[in-house]
């Protein structure tokens, strides 16, 4: 298999199978971070740009495919950055499923973003929220404890919210 990015009008004209539409993207550098210790400011900037470019709010998203490397520092910064974008109110506890393909296949370095994209496309196509492996419970003080995010431990039907299409976000820091 392969992934082809096309203008929607061309894909319709060519009668291609369309798995998803990209509505926005955001790019930023971690000014104070590095490969092993990312920077919250850069992540927030990238996420904010992606939501602005899409015309969505974080609350429009049902699933986020995180960069999620499994390192306490990196994952903690990513979760805190996401929590900052979502704010302190306007959401319900655990309303947004999050995960990372890296729990299943490891880190593919420069190929990690495309692996997360493939997982997200298949989740949308199959209308299934995919699980993350080896997750039991959040650590003490984790943003997962009482925040808007939850981690699926088993594949779960991705139900549409009333009058709302399924929407996902992808982080590939």
Chain segment 31-83, per-residue pLDDT in tens: 666 655 668 888 999 999 999 999 999 999 999 999 887 777 888 889 999 99
Distances (CA, A) of 132 to 125, 172, 173: 18, 16, 18
Task: Identify the pLDDT of residue 73.
Answer: 80
Average pLDDT across the chain, whole number: 89
pLDDT over threshold 90, residue 112: no
Average pLDDT over residues 118-140: 90
What's the CA gap between 150 and 137, in Å, rounded? 10
Interior angle at CA 138, CA 33 and CA 77, nearest 5 = 10
- DSSP character at residue 62: S
Task: Identify the pLDDT of residue 31.
Answer: 67
Whose CA is closest to 44, among 79, 11, 71?
Answer: 79
Average pLDDT over residues 98-111: 85
Q: How far is CA 52 from the centre of its chain?
A: 16
Q: Which two tokens stand for residue 126?
A: 């199959």
């Amino acid at each position: 298999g392969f992934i082809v990015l096309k203008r929607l009008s061309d894909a319709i004209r060519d009668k291609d199978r369309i798995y998803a539409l990209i509505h926005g993207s955001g790019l930023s550098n971690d000014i104070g971070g590095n490969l092993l210790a990312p920077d919250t400011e850069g992540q927030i900037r990238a996420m904010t740009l992606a939501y602005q470019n899409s015309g969505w709010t974080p609350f429009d998203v049902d699933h986020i495919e995180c960069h999620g490397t499994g390192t306490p520092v990196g994952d903690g910064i990513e979760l805190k950055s996401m929590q900052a974008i979502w704010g302190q109110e306007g959401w319900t506890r655990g309303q947004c499923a999050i995960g990372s393909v890296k729990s299943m296949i490891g880190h593919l370095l420069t190929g990690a973003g495309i692996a997360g994209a493939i997982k997200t496309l298949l989740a949308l196509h199959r209308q299934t929220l995919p699980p993350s492996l080896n997750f039991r419970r959040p650590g003490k003080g984790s943003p997962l404890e009482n925040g808007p995010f939850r981690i699926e431990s088993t594949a779960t039907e991705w139900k549409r919210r009333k009058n709302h299409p399924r929407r996902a976000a992808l982080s590939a820091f």
